[in-house]
Structures are given as C-alpha cells and as structure tokens.
Amino acid sequence: MNTNKRENIALVTGANAGIGLELTRKLLSEDWQVVALNRSDFPEDDTKIQKAVMNGWLRIYKTADLTDYASLRKTLGEIKDKEQRIDILFNNAGSAFSELSYSKQGREMHYELLTVVPYIILMELKELIKNGSLKTVINTSSSALNYVKEFNIEILERPKTFRKLFGPYATSKLALSLWTQAIAPQLAKEDIKIRSVDPGGNNTLRKGKKSGLPLVVNLLMKLFFSPPTHGANQLYEGALGEHRNETGVFLLKGQTAEYKFKEQSRNVLERINEIYEHEFQGFFDLYAEIR
C-alpha cells in the first residue's frame, strides 16, 4: 500500500452513500486516507473509490448494524487493532426512519443510532484520535433540532408519539449536539476538539429505499435541495475551516448557532455515558469473564 504521501487520516461512518460518500470522495481528492465504517458496500462502478481501495487509501470496516452492540464491538476492535491513528473522526452515519421502532437494547432507534452510537464510537476510538495530529471530532447534526418543543430523556428513549423528521429524529439530533457541548471541556484536557455540524438541506433520497421524511419534504428535496456534495463540503469546512480551533459549538450554515434546552446537556451526557459503561462495556466485560 502506497499511503506515504497521504499523511492525514479520517474515519467516516456511513461513508458508502449520500453525504458520507461525497465526503469520502472529497477527502480522497484532497490526498487524505479514509477509514470507512459502513453497514453496506461502496458502489462497485465507482472507479475512483475502487482504485482508492486497491491502493490502500480507503480502508473499509463493515458492521452488520451499528446499533447491534456485538457487531459494533467486533468492528471497532478490528479498527483499533489495524489502524495507528485518526486525525478526524466524522460521526456521520444516520437515517430517518418511517415509523417508531426500537433497537435490540430497547431504545428508540433514532436515539440509539444518532445519539448513543456516535458517543460509543468516540469513546472506543479516543486513543487513536489522541494519536492523530488534528485530534478533531465532527458529529453530523441537523437544523431540525430547532423544531423540538419538548425535551427530556424519557422522550428520547421511549417517545409517546411519532412524527417523521420533526419527532424522534429531531430530538435525537438535538441530544447529539447537547452531549457534544457537554463533553467538550473534558475532551479539551486531552487536546481533542469536538463540534456538531448541520450539513444543510441535501437530496439524499435513494432509489428503492423507504424514506422517513414527510411527503412534502420528499417533494421539496427532489425539487430544491442541493446534492450531497453540499453537505460533504459543510462537514469538511466544519472540520478544517474557520472554526477549526473551536470546541463544543454547533455550526449552522458555516457559523456558530444557538439552540434550546442547553440546560439538559449534562443530563444527556451522563445518561449516554451510563449506557456506554454499563451496557456496551459492561456486557462484554462480563462476557469475557464468563469465557
């Protein structure tokens, strides 16, 4: 593998489609190495992607399901065994579901995937990030968080009602930005910077995949939303642009922005850390002892 000329390494979750795919392409075009954490394969007919795989510039780690802790634990273990460092972690993987559903752990699926899993990935890969030169974490958030009218842990974990986009999806993205803010001082002690970034409105509709968006948003997305390259650029600039030295902030349209319920940030962080320590770490530590 000829990776010597590509000094910087980014890990991108959900790198095989939509914004994640365009971010991967951009990073490769800027002479980065990319570590991809995906559930599905990259397009086989994308010659540049396949060339990057052949050259070792793009290294792929697959997990059956990011919300399946056994599968996630195994894949993260492979990354820790094989990779030396991560300069930027892009916690980008996500989805908008069309109905209320729950993870194997019994929590609402948006919350598990969009809020809890990014924290697990950060904590599990933190030593690799500390080995990097840029020591930066970018969490993909959403301006949908501005539409949240009620917020607490109970609503996050087991919502009483479901609305596409403006229900569990929005509250989970808000929770992501809240714990991003809350953990920033702690990470700063280890020289790690973390930000949440809204990639803006992007047409990420995929043929044959059921959309978790309201019909009117689907229509608007087809007609007016930017291609995923826009979102990729927003994430890239969020990592390396004018706010690269800031931490704990939420970036909207390239600028720092305020949002509601910041008084809940510590509660969210404590709850997610509890899940990480007692469920993700604790279960597998117990399993290792039994074996």
Longest dimension (CA), the chain: 56
3: in domain = no
Residue 107 is assigned to a structural domain of this protein: yes
* Residue among 190, 67, 82 nearest 127 (CA): 190
Per-residue pLDDT band for 1 (boundaries 50, 70, 90) equals very low
Dist. CA 239–CA 247, nearest whole Å: 11
Average pLDDT over residues 219-233: 73
* C-beta contacts of 125-130 below 8 A and 24+ residues apart: 125/11, 125/76, 125/79, 125/80, 125/86, 125/89, 126/190, 126/192, 127/80, 128/79, 128/80, 128/83, 128/84, 128/85, 128/86, 129/85, 129/86, 129/89, 129/192, 130/190, 130/191, 130/192
Residue 155 belongs to some domain of the structure: yes
Reported as a single tens digit per residue, the pLDDT across 147-173 is 999 999 999 999 999 998 899 999 999
Per-residue pLDDT averaged across 226-231, rounded? Answer: 85
Task: Give residue 3's pLDDT band: very low, low, confident or very high (50, 70, 90).
Answer: very low
If phi > 0 it is left, if psi is from -120 to 50 it is alpha, else beta; for residue 80 that is: alpha
At 102-153, the pLDDT tens digits run 999 999 999 999 999 999 999 999 999 999 999 999 999 999 999 999 999 9
Express each pLDDT in 6-32 by its tens digit. Answer: 899 999 999 999 999 999 999 999 999
159, 100 contact by CB (below 8 A):
yes
The reply to whether 82 falls in a domain is yes
- Can you give the pLDDT at residue 2? 45
User: Does residue 1 belong to any structural domain of this protein?
Assistant: no
Q: How far apart are CA 143 and CA 200, in angstroms?
A: 7
Axis-axis angle for helices 69-82, 117-124 (nearest 10): 30
Model confidence at 190: pLDDT above 90: yes
Give the span between the Cα atoms of 288 and 74, in whole angstroms. Answer: 13
218 has a pLDDT exceeding 70: no
How far apart CA 98 and CA 27 sit, in angstroms, is 31
**pLDDT band at residue 283 using 50, 70 and 90 as cut-offs:** low
Q: Which long-range contacts (CB under 8 A, 24 or more apart) does 210-219 make?
A: 210/98, 211/96, 211/98, 212/95, 212/96, 212/97, 212/98, 212/164, 212/165, 212/169, 213/96, 213/164, 213/165, 214/164, 214/165, 217/164, 217/165
**Single-letter amino acid code for the residue at 243:** H
The DSSP annotation for 160-229 comes to SS--TTTTHHHHHHHHHHHHHHHHHHHHHTTT-EEEEE---SB----TTS---S-HHHHHHHHHHPBPHH
Residue among 216, 263, 253, 279 at smallest CA distance from 70? 279
CATH value at residue 278? 3.40.50.720
Alpha-carbon span 291 to 286, nearest angstrom = 9
Cα 197 from Cα 210, distance rounded (Å)? 25
The model's pTM is: 0.91
How many domains are there within the chain?
A: 1
Q: What is the pLDDT of residue 214?
A: 61
Give the tokens for residue 197: 């970034």
Query: What tens digit of pLDDT does each residue of 54-98 get?
Result: 999 999 999 989 999 999 999 999 999 999 999 999 999 998 898
**pLDDT tier for residue 185 given thresholds of 50, 70 and 90:** very high
What are the structure tokens assigned to 160, written together? 């009483």
Residue 117 lies in a domain: yes
Residue 259 lies in a domain: yes
Domain span including residue 101: 9-290
Q: What is the pLDDT of residues 233-256, one digit of tens each?
A: 999 999 999 999 999 999 999 999
> Does 79 map to a domain?
yes
The tokens 């509709």 sit on which residue?
205
Residue 228 has pLDDT above 90, yes or no: no
